[in-house]
């Protein structure tokens, strides 16, 4: 692979890293949103429990039918809010799972690209080493030939 090809791959890797980093940022944001939704659910649950305790304390002294109806309507609204919040939590959890999948895919893609570049660089290095070895072998062979020629020339002058 040429140097230009390696530079192009480096650019592709940078883009893949950016995609992965954006995915990680989206995952972090999704987790924060889920945490906020969970805190809201916890507040609703605590509020419902507190309202139920107040109701039980009030019932000890007796309540009329209007108060009972008001309490049931109020608790139905709180339960509806909790059901809605359960749906929000489920949606946020699915969003987290989807973004996690995207991040994993981006990380796999990035790892594959890096591995490909490493293989290409290794193959390029091996080609360079073979070329250098070939040049060294040719220089040694030429030196040997010159020595052999000079030895034969020297022997013909000696004779």
Which residues have CB under 8 Å from 159's CB, separation 6+?
Answer: none
Q: Please give the Cα distance from 117 to 122 (Å, whole number).
A: 8
Q: pTM of the entire structure?
A: 0.71
Return the higher-pLDDT residue of 77 and 120. 77
Q: Are 13 and 110 in contact (CB under 8 A)?
A: yes
- pLDDT tens track for 123-135: 889 999 999 999 9
Measured CA distances, 33 to 28, 37, 96, 99, 129 (Å): 9, 6, 9, 13, 55
Domain positions in the chain: 3-158
| CATH architecture assigned to 3-158 | Orthogonal Bundle (1.10)
Q: Of the ranges 46-50, 108-112, 147-151, which one carries the lowest mean pLDDT score? A: 147-151
Task: Kindly state the tokens that stand for 102.
Answer: 């995207």
Q: Considering the chain, what is the average pLDDT of its residues?
A: 91
């Amino acid at each position: 692979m040429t140097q230009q090809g390696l530079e192009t791959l480096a650019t592709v890797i940078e883009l893949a890293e950016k995609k992965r980093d954006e995915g990680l940022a989206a995952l972090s944001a999704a987790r924060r949103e889920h945490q906020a939704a969970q805190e809201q659910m916890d507040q609703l649950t605590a509020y419902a429990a507190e309202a139920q305790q107040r109701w039980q304390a009030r019932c000890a002294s007796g309540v009329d039918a209007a108060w009972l109806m008001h309490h049931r309507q109020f608790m139905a609204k709180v339960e509806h809010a909790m059901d809605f919040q359960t749906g929000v939590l489920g949606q946020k959890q699915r969003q987290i799972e989807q973004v996690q999948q995207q991040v994993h895919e981006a990380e796999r893609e990035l790892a594959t690209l890096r591995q490909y570049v490493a293989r290409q660089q290794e193959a390029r290095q091996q080609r360079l080493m073979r070329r250098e070895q070939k040049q060294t072998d040719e220089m040694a062979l030429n030196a040997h030939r010159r020595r052999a020629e000079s030895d034969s020339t020297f022997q013909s002058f000696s004779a």
